[in-house]
Chain A
């Protein structure tokens, strides 16, 4: 996984609640067998009209947000399908951080597995970020994974929850499978004493 310790970037405001993974990456693009190259399809039906032309009013088509690396959105971001293609598409597009008042469970986990940081902040703080990002001068934020904090330009800070295990993986860019494989002896011990439940090859 890609390590993420500190990040500073421009914020793109996507002021919608319940943004589902079908919007983040529509199903017609799930047939690729690689992990890469999904950014071009991010929010496809919102970015492009039926004829494939850009919709100028969609946030990511506006010049000031095209290079944004922090996405801020409404509550329950990433609901729906378990497709990891959604965080892949966000990361491949150039986002490193997604901020929302709440996330869907599977999406939140999927982000952490690839080093895309999902930040949960109180609704009032998210509303302030949305408003500032929509303003004429836009908004830059600084994010620190070690201190679990977001810093505004005026120096005010907001802290976000992140469990220590995920934090360690993120900061170290650790391979979580490798971390679990170090517990091989424990897995072998467990398998030795469990009731055998199923043999799919039997």
Chain B
């Protein structure tokens, strides 16, 4: 057989039947569900007297609109409360396992799936959320779907899908110290644009990607959608296998080793051909900061806010001008001169344990600027517990951060964690669209280190000189 990519192997293996020369009925191994995009799908099932075909391949968690403060009192927002209750009712009615608001391991769906060992190499994974691309870090084909497709998967455990083109994104050169996967993915989006990978599934390659931990690979794959890609993936290797060993839903005993052998075989074959290859040079990367209203409007900490006069064409000039107007920024301002009011560390992009450890390496023994309100929202109950075992909660609290309960929080501001109009944030999330974190709010996307450093100074600074060693942070 001709050499195949990871994507082609999963695509071929999950073909239930061919619909036409472009489309096939694709079998879905794992369907993740949350409260915001599912109620109408369950409604549709009932309306048509259908049922959930494979509750044993479905898993639900509340995350998008949950409060991250005190959870002992009932949720104040009656509409949010109704959505959460409805997910519980639906899961109960159809036999779907659920981590509800009070489950000790509740968290963001894209953090919970991997840490429970639900996400495994070679699988197809879908969820009614665009950041489902996160799961591609495990060598799975994982992508976001709309509510009609959620209903389709509930009823059939399949989706009608057209095949995608494949794009290799190869990171070359060693990763400089202090450069994170967040900087890598933002550099890529800056390079190819927010529609640069539309129609493609990305596979990330190169020695620097091989050297990434699973937490780091998830950050990389998470933002694939911000480049327009259907999915982003990394070929499974021993890093993947070692992460999954001992996880709740991973195979156990001799089964694990047998399964691991099968997992490793999904890796892209030497000589397999991609439809396109993009090379990103790591050697010259500095920490990245977005200045505009989409993730492609990004530059490095050493640079200045760009001048629309220097845009490549009239369309870009207009887009830059609109973005600068919204962001309240003047061309030519050094990025380090931009003051911030709020800091958010969390989200499915950067809410995992390693993210919090790296932010704590900046924060330890220091205080946030008096003008800044800063919050850490761990991505899950497990992340929170493990961070607390390391004493990270105290590191953040001592510095003046809030230490909150798990959820999507200020990444999309569906709960009370929002920016006020005109407030400016340094945020470890994934989208800086107008109003994303609150109407009139101004979002700058950065790595956890950069967000932590901005909290200390009240404006953006290069985080690299501030790094403590790991030993200095954890007790």
Chain A contacts to B: CB under 8 angstroms: 16-18, 20, 22-23, 26-28, 30-35, 45, 50, 74-76, 79-84, 87, 102, 104-106, 109-110, 113-114, 163-165, 175-181, 183, 186-187, 190-191, 194-195, 197-202
Contact = CB atoms under 8 A, between A and B. Distances in A.
A146 B212 CA distance: 50
* A-B CB proximity, top 4 nearest: A113-B148, A84-B146, A110-B146, A82-B144
A190 B249 contact: no
A183 B152 CA distance: 13
Given A80-B130, A200-B30, A27 B79 contact: no
Contacts of B118: 198, 200
Contacts of A27: 412-414, 436
A201 B23 contact: no
A34 B40 contact: yes
Given A22-B431, A33-B83, A180-B158, A113 B16 contact: no
B48 interface: yes
Contacts of B431: 20, 22, 80-81
B55 A201 contact: yes
B37 A198 contact: no
17 contacts: A18-B195, A22-B431, A23-B435, A31-B65, A50-B439, A79-B194, A81-B130, A81-B431, A82-B144, A104-B228, A106-B145, A163-B162, A183-B17, A183-B158, A198-B29, A201-B55, A201-B95
A31 B194 CA distance: 27
Interface stretch (B56-64, B277-285, B342-350): B56-64
B275 interface: no
Which one of A75, A80, A104, A198 has the greatest number of beta carbons of chain B within 10 Å?
A198
A86 to B, nearest CB: 9
A186 B56 contact: no
A28 B79 CA distance: 10
Nearest to B144: A82
Nearest to B124: A197
A17 B323 CA distance: 12
Contact of A177 (B58, B146, B147, B156): B156
A186 B160 CA distance: 13
Interface residues of B, number: 82
B48 A198 contact: no
Interface of B: 16-17, 19-20, 22-23, 25, 27, 29-30, 36-37, 39-40, 43-44, 48, 50, 53, 55-59, 64-65, 77, 79-80, 82-83, 86, 95-97, 118, 120, 122-123, 128-130, 132, 143-149, 151-152, 155-158, 160, 162, 194-195, 198-199, 225, 228, 230, 249, 262, 294, 315, 319, 322, 412-414, 421, 431, 433-436, 439-440
Contacts of A26: 435, 439
Contact of B57 (A82, A83, A180, A200): A200
Given A79-B228, A104-B198, A202 B56 contact: yes
Given A113-B148, A176-B152, A18 B194 contact: yes
Contacts of B37: 82-84
A180 B152 contact: yes
B159 to A, nearest CB: 8
Contacts of B225: 106
A64 B165 CA distance: 42
Contacts of B48: 175, 177-178
A38 B198 CA distance: 27
Contacts of A28: 413-414
Contacts of A22: 431, 433-436
Contact of B79 (A20, A32, A76, A175): A32
Give the one of B17, B431, B433 with max A CB within 10 A. B433
Given A23-B433, A187-B157, A198 B65 contact: no
A34 B79 CA distance: 12
B249 A202 contact: yes
A50 B440 contact: yes
A31 B79 contact: yes
